């Protein structure tokens, strides 16, 4: 890391920079425009490259529980998505030392494929006693390419409803595994949060859904939801949060079981420990609540 990057920390970055980054990574801004707008903040001896490098994921921070990961079984598998993209690659993690698995959880990634952060989520679930499956929606296009920028470009070439079918097929695969009691939950982040909400609408047997700062399912389809929901939101994530009041009203009107938390001063992506948007307090508390929620609903 350069001396310039050492000068940077989360507290020194204006919220406008994080908002611009959010627009960029969610395809609402071209890279050229993003760089131009960010360049305004390259002052005080800091360069544009140092700011960009600071904002981007640092996957050296993945595998933060590597010693714990040695106690679980990690497999790379394939399953077939008939209505989606065909053969889908996935990471399957099993708590090898658990006599009884607490439940099975599908992990839905962001809009960039199965990157090291999402692999960490799947492994962490296994460390906690859950069998997990993390599919890669980029499989039909060769899989996660090794960096998030190219991953986003690839995922933008796929239809999101076809990707939804890939994750639903992953649910079908997971619930038929010998070590699974047939109860499967889903946790998803960003785009994967939308996947989680949509699976709750479309799969009657889904046992639990945990969308992290995910887009909401259509209001007119909320009445179909049977699975209990645990929803995590970031206070500063105005883009996703603007759809929450109407979604909550529909959940209440149809008497759907849900619990929602909005984490103060947190940005979209606060659970991702590889980016500066990471909020340790919000991430740890939300994850503790998530594990407790799955333990209660997947037994």
| Residue-wise pLDDT tens digits, 53-112 | 788 888 876 555 555 788 899 999 999 999 999 999 999 999 987 567 899 999 999 999
- Give CA–CA dist 114/92, Å, rounded: 12
On the question of pLDDT at 285 being above 90, the answer is yes
Same domain membership, residue 148 and residue 23: no
Q: What is the DSSP letter of 32?
A: H
Mean pLDDT of 292-298: 97
pLDDT above 90 for 37: no
Q: 17 and 155 share a domain? A: no
- pTM (two decimals): 0.91
Of 207, 235, 232, which is closest to residue 290 (Cα–Cα)?
232
**Which among 56, 73, 98 is the end of a domain?**
56
Sign of CA dihedral 196, 197, 202, 206: positive
Contacts of residue 173, Cβ cutoff 8 Å, sequence gap at least 6 = 79, 90, 133
Instruction: Confirm if 268 and 244 have CB atoms less than 8 A apart.
Output: no
If asked whether residues 10 and 124 sit together in one domain, one would say: no
Shared domain for 111 and 133, answered yes or no, is yes
Among residues 33, 56, 79, which one ends one of the domains? 56
Locate 289 and state its tokens.
Answer: 């609540």
Whether residue 94 is found in the same domain as residue 22: no
In whole angstroms, how far apart are CA 251 and each of 176, 211, 222, 258? 30, 14, 7, 8
Residues 93 and 217 in one domain: yes
Are residues 51 and 68 both part of a single domain?
Answer: no
Residue 1 pLDDT exceeds 60: no
In whole numbers, what is the pLDDT of the chain averaged over residues? 91
pLDDT tens digit string along 188-224? 999 999 999 999 999 999 999 999 999 999 999 999 9
Is there a single domain that holds both residue 34 and residue 145? no
Do 38 and 106 sit in the same domain of this protein? no
Mean per-residue pLDDT, 18-31: 84
Residue position matching structure tokens 């980054």? 21
CATH of the domain at 74: 3.40.50.1820
- The pLDDT tens digits of the residues spanning 98-154 come to 567 899 999 999 999 999 999 999 999 999 999 999 999 999 999 999 999 999 999
Q: Are residues 101 and 230 in the same domain?
A: yes
- What's the average model confidence in pLDDT over 152-175? 97
Number of domains in the chain: 2
Q: Report the percent of the chain where pLDDT is more than 70.
A: 92
One domain for residues 76 and 179: yes
User: 3-state class of 233 per DSSP?
Assistant: strand
Domain that holds residue 28: 3-56
d(CA 274, CA 279) in angstroms, rounded, equals 11
pLDDT at 161 over 70: yes
- Give, for 22, the enclosing helix (H) or strand (E): helix 15-25
Of 32, 56, 80, the residue at which a domain comes to its end is 56
Q: Are residues 21 and 73 in the same domain?
A: no
Q: Which residues contact 182 (CB under 8 A, 6 or more apart)?
A: 175, 205
Percent of the chain residues past pLDDT 90, beyond the cut: 71
């Amino acid at each position: 890391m350069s001396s310039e990057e050492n000068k940077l920390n989360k507290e020194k970055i204006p919220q406008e920079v994080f908002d611009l980054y959010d627009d960029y990574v969610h395809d609402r801004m071209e890279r050229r425009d993003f760089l131009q707008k960010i360049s305004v903040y390259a002052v005080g001896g800091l360069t544009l490259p140092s700011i960009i490098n600071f904002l981007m994921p640092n996957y050296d921070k993945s595998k933060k529980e590597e010693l714990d990961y040695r106690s679980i079984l990690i497999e790379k598998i394939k399953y077939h998505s008939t209505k989606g993209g065909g053969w889908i690659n996935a990471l399957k993690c099993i708590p090898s030392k658990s006599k009884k698995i607490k439940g099975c959880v599908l992990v839905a990634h962001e809009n960039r494929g199965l990157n090291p952060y999402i692999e960490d989520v799947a492994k962490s679930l296994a460390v906690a006693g859950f069998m997990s499956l993390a599919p890669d929606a980029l499989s039909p296009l060769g899989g996660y390419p090794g960096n998030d920028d190219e991953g986003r470009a690839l995922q933008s070439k796929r239809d999101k409803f076809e990707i939804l079918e890939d994750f639903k097929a992953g649910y079908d695969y997971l619930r038929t595994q010998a070590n699974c009691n047939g109860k499967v939950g889903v946790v998803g982040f960003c785009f994967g949060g939308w996947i989680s909400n949509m699976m709750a609408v479309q799969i009657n047997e889904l046992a639990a859904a945990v969308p992290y700062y995910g887009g909401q399912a259509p209001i007119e389809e909320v009445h179909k939801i049977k699975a209990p929901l645990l929803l995590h939101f970031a206070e500063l994530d105005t883009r996703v949060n603007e759809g929450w009041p109407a979604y909550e009203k529909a959940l209440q009107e149809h008497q759907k079981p849900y619990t929602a938390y909005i984490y103060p001063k947190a940005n979209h992506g606060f659970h991702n420990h590889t980016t500066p948007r990471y909020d340790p307090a919000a991430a740890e508390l939300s994850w503790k609540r998530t594990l407790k929620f799955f333990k209660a609903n997947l037994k």
